[in-house]
Structure 1
């Protein structure tokens, strides 16, 4: 992966050209404990977007993948992580992009759309609904499960699943614990209403983490929801219905 300096933090990224030449850029922002490869390459998103004619850029968020690991929760505020993504656009000379995030990446995408609207052609928020506003979703104990010695029972099944996933992705568990403690900022209904770019909110109908997708879309003046039938938080991201819905949205947006 290539990398750049984002305010003193090394951020790794890939930049894949559109098949057949230049195309509108799409910036992909992955979810918690994942990385660009697990979230976007293995699920065929990069190939799908590139073959559809889009320049596809994806970063490893700070604390994840090949990007720099930080251990202070205050280093993982959503505004800081949004700043990394905007900084990557600056680094690549991209003035405006479609910004797509999943789960934690969806939270970051919403912050970018709110704070940097001139840089966002459209926002695609996946795996995150009303919990962007209400602040619920993941249960307590995930950070503690990540920090616990190997073999320690987790406080709940979700915490256990995240510990297993983090180990499978060979993540830095201490950095992820700091990220979990520092990155869960919400937006108020009034702030959500200020997001005026075209928005697609995509949530699985079996997702117990994201919150109501149509409810979030209803708070924005130019948003619509995509229900991913029979998909939960883990399986919605790579669903063909998700990819098809995003491609249709991108083709129709101004």
Structure 2
């Protein structure tokens, strides 16, 4: 297995962000999903290794309020689209001018918002994301806020139970996570005409959490859909995810 290197950069407001990287070659920035981390989404199950073996330097930040990055409790450090601000800081700090960009779930949402804010990756990967998911953040966010507000009192079988269990596993800072949830913006379908680079929409066969990935691919000017095994929680654990990403990036 390739060595995992760790560094830190400052994001918006001086928030300290942990950056994990593997491999050598063309830079690929990968963003993880909500309540997760670079370690869990990309490194633990071998997908980062697949991409490193394919000739990429895989750069995986922990989003603010996640993983080994800071989780400030000051509401002023969670302005609108703060994750996009952090992504822009990261790209600038690392001096990336020719790179690829991808993300899973919240990371996919942030990647799209980053492109709309002016980032210009050669290729884009959107994992675990569908068309209605980009535009329907209020409903999705309300589900997670409910899980935070009722944390410890959600019974097995309730819709929020899985989110509660994952927050426990990941030791999520719920104050910071709640603030972060309020900073994320919607992306209406008509805005996607401005996402002009080749884009892979890769999604688990049983993952409908963020709407239809095929519909998202069909809406994007250069969208391609690829199905992999799993649901929204498990698809990142299958190496088919990394293989689909590597094949797309190398084509």
Normalized against structure 1, the TM-score is what? 0.87
Aligned twin of 2:128: 127
Task: Within 5 Å, give how 1:223-242 maps onto structure 2.
Answer: 223-229=223-229, 231-242=230-241
Distance in 2 separating the partners of 1:86 and 1:182: 16
- RMSD over aligned Cα atoms: 2.2
Structure 1 unaligned spans of 5+: none
Question: 1:77 Cα shift?
Answer: 5.5
- Pairs within 5 Å for 1:56-135: 56-71=58-73, 75-76=77-78, 79-118=81-120, 120-130=121-131, 131-135=133-137
* CA–CA distance in structure 1, aligned partners of residues 181 and 146 of structure 2: 10
3-state SS in 1 of match to 2:195 = coil
Q: Distance in 2 between matches of 1:61 and 1:10?
A: 10
Unaligned runs of 5+ in 2: 1-5
CA contact (8 A) 1:117 1:197 kept: no
Matched, 1:211 2:211: yes
Distance in 1 (alpha carbons) for counterparts of 2:78 and 2:225: 28
Match of 2:16 among 10, 14, 20: 10
Contact 1:127-1:210 within 8 A present in 2 as well:
yes
1:191 maps to 191
Deviates more, 1:101-110 or 1:141-150: 141-150
Query: For 1:78 and 1:240, how far apart are their aligned partners in 2?
Result: 34
Residue 219 of structure 1 and its aligned partner are, at CA, apart by: 1.2
Once the two structures are superposed, residues 80-105 of structure 1 have per-residue CA deviations (whole angstroms, 9 ceiling, x without a partner) of 20221221122122213211100000
